[in-house]
Structure 1
Amino acid sequence: MPIQWFPGHMTSARKKAAETLAKADVVIEVLDARIPEASCNPMIRQLRDFRQRPCLKVLNKSDLADPKATAAWLEFYNSQPGVKAVALSCKNPAEPGRIPGLCRTLAPHRNDLTKPLRMMIMGIPNVGKSTLMNALLKKKVAKVGDEPAVTKSQQTLDLGPGMVLTDTPGLMWPKIEHDSDGYMLAASHAIGTNAVIEEEVAAFLGDLLLARYGDLLTARYKCPVAGLDGAGLVETIAERRGCRVKGGGLDLEKAALILLTDYRSGAIGRISLETPATRAAMLAAAQARTEVPEADPEA
């Protein structure tokens, strides 16, 4: 079942973001390092392109992502005009300190301090925007939560001499074009739980992990995984962890939550659900499905 999630407050948040962006010098777009393109809101790209604003892409939660995949993503983004990319973990207070200097390189016209460098943090829900804001300001000024869409309003604060920072609510887009993106977002906890069936999300996640990280699954759940699919992995976890419902049947919902929680927390290991190569393959396959063969004139 395709996953869609666009809470009502995001319409007004998008309008407000467009107004603020007109006055910003640099967009700091926070992405989930495990799913950089799936967590990249196309509306933010459209707003940024319209205003011709440079972008610092922050691949947050890099401590949870596969280092090889992250390196490939940094190369991918740093080859784009007007874009710089950096991988970090906002949980480490020292790492976000690099961001103002990188933003200054994207807006050299603000280096003379006659006017403040105006930075704007944007991104989808639950990628760590508020955590980044708090880390940059070295104090808790933005509410942080474990659920998507905690921040519901903008706030602008002075970051230091000649620097102003605006934090914005998480923005989704009205229609997720690719089903796999919806499932990757849900697995990574960027979509409200009311919009997903967790057993389906866990089965999707299981299929990806079995294809790329089978050894990590074996180490985590102490069981062979050869021949399993995602649904079978969830069943195996239920059996191994003793997840039972009243009457003795397997509690697949509980097992699905175990797999999702282990992925989100990094308990399975450092995992990326997409790379530039897998992304390109997915887009090519999607394009092929939409192409209609031309009629044979001799038919």
Structure 2
Amino acid sequence: MVKARREIEQNLKVVDIVIMLLDARAPLACRNPELEQMIRQKSLILVLNKADLAEARSTSRSKAYLKRQGYWVAAMDSLHCRGSKEVLDLIKKAYSPVAAVMMQKGRRVRPVRVMVVGVPNVGKSSFINCLAGRKIARVGEKPGITRGRQWLRIREDIELMDTPGLMWPKIEDEKQGLKLALLNIIGENAYQEYDVARYLVEVLKQGHPDVLRERYRVQNVDLPEEEILAAIATARGLLSKGGQIDLDKVSRLVLQEYRRGAMGSISLE
């Protein structure tokens, strides 16, 4: 973590623009105050990635909120490469003042240099591949799979540096930690799947009870989270050898189905 922070500090000296990727389902929870403080001298574009997994209305609210704070903001679905034009347009707009100065001085306008940052597993590699229109960055499901430093020419006028995701040294807020765990942004060793599954059921009860009724055949959605998980386990046959409910299996099931979008588009903010 210290090494990643040091690398970003060094890389900031040679880039013009920073793109910070946030998971569109919980963009505020994904923001890194320490990282934003580091890059305050650079133009910052916030990209709400994985927009296909978030509710459109929630994403629109998040974009409006962040724009009011003075940020360049775009939403993108890197899996299906939707929204890349909006991001490319923002890069050009953010770079135009720098390019104008170069032209005034009679210098050739060089390609804009961009750095992509964000918490792990927010889709950086897929995002880069989408912007480039070809596969040039490694993609994986485990948090932090991208390693090392790469300069990537994604367009004739855009050079992009890929960096490892940067995470908080410590998550102070419990709700924030649950969101990040649910989004698979923090490693499995940092949380109990059952606790995160209970939080997910709470989210479904409050905003998406039909998912519980229709997908998991839970008739009484007013039951406590623990009992709803037990009902799901029974309906799916997730039982141990002794016929007891397997809480580990049912927790893992609902988390995996949420993460891959099997429940539909569900935002956490």
Shorter chain as normaliser: what TM range? Answer: over 0.9
Distance 1:229 1:75 in 2: 35
How far off its partner does 1:154 sit? 1.9
Alpha carbons 1:214, 1:225 under 8 Å: kept: no
1:120-154 deviation per Cα after TM superposition (whole angstroms, max 9, x unaligned) = 10000001111111112222222111110101212
- The answer to whether the Cα contact below 8 Å between 1:41 and 1:172 also exists between their aligned partners in 2 is yes
Q: Match for 2:21 among 30, 33, 48?
A: 30
**Normalised TM-score (structure 1):** 0.84
Query: Secondary structure, in 3 states, of the residue corresponding to 1:107?
Result: helix
**Native 8 Å contact 1:210 1:225 kept in 2:** no
Distance in 2, matches of 1:70 and 1:229, equals 29
SS at match of 1:166: strand
1:59–1:87 Cα contact (<8 Å) kept: yes
Q: Aligned residue for 2:103?
A: none
Name the amino acid aligned to 1:56.
I
> Who is 1:87 aligned against?
75
Tell me by how many angstroms 1:180 deviates: 0.7
Match of 1:42 in 2: 33
Which residue number corresponds to residue 208 of structure 2? Answer: 213
Task: Pick the aligned partner of 2:251 from 253, 256, 272.
Answer: 256
Match of 1:140 among 123, 135, 140: 135
1:226 alignment partner, SS class: coil
8 A Cα contact 2:221 2:228, kept in partner:
no
Confirm or deny that 1:125 pairs with 2:115.
Answer: no
Q: 2:237 aligns with which of 238, 242, 262?
A: 242
- Give the superposition deviation at 1:236: 1.4
- In the alignment, which residue of structure 2 is the partner of 1:229? 224
Query: Within 1, Cα distance between the matches of 2:109 and 2:20?
Result: 25
Structure 1 contact 130–142 (Cα < 8 Å) conserved: yes
Residues 140, 248 of structure 1: alpha-carbon distance in 2 compared, 3 angstrom cutoff: same
Contact 2:25/2:55, CA 8 A, preserved across alignment? yes
Deviations 1:211-262 (A, max 9, x none): 1111222121122243223222211110110100011100111111111111
2:87 aligned to which of 99, 124, 128? 99
Q: 1:94 offset after TM fit, Å?
A: 4.8
Shift of 1:93: 2.7
Contact 1:104–1:111 (Cα < 8 Å) also in 2? no
- Structure 2: which amino acid aligns with 1:231? E
Q: CA deviation at 1:115?
A: 2.4
Specify every segment of 5 or more residues in structure 1 that has no aligned partner in the other structure, as ranges: 1-9, 275-299
Tell me the distance in 2 between the aligned counterparts of 1:250 and 1:94.
41
C-alpha separation in 2, matches of 1:180 and 1:137: 35
Letter in structure 2 aligned against 1:62: A
TM-score by length of 2: 0.93
Aligned-pair distance for 1:174? 0.3
1:72 equivalent in structure 2: 61
What's 1:151 paired with? 146
Does the 8 Å CA contact 1:206/1:229 hold for their aligned counterparts?
no
Within 5 Å, which residues of 2 pair with 1:189-208?
A: 189-208=184-203
RMSD, matched Cα: 1.5
Classify 1:22/1:230 alpha carbon distance in 2 versus 1 (closer, same or farther; 3 Å).
Answer: farther
Count of residue pairs the alignment pairs up: 262
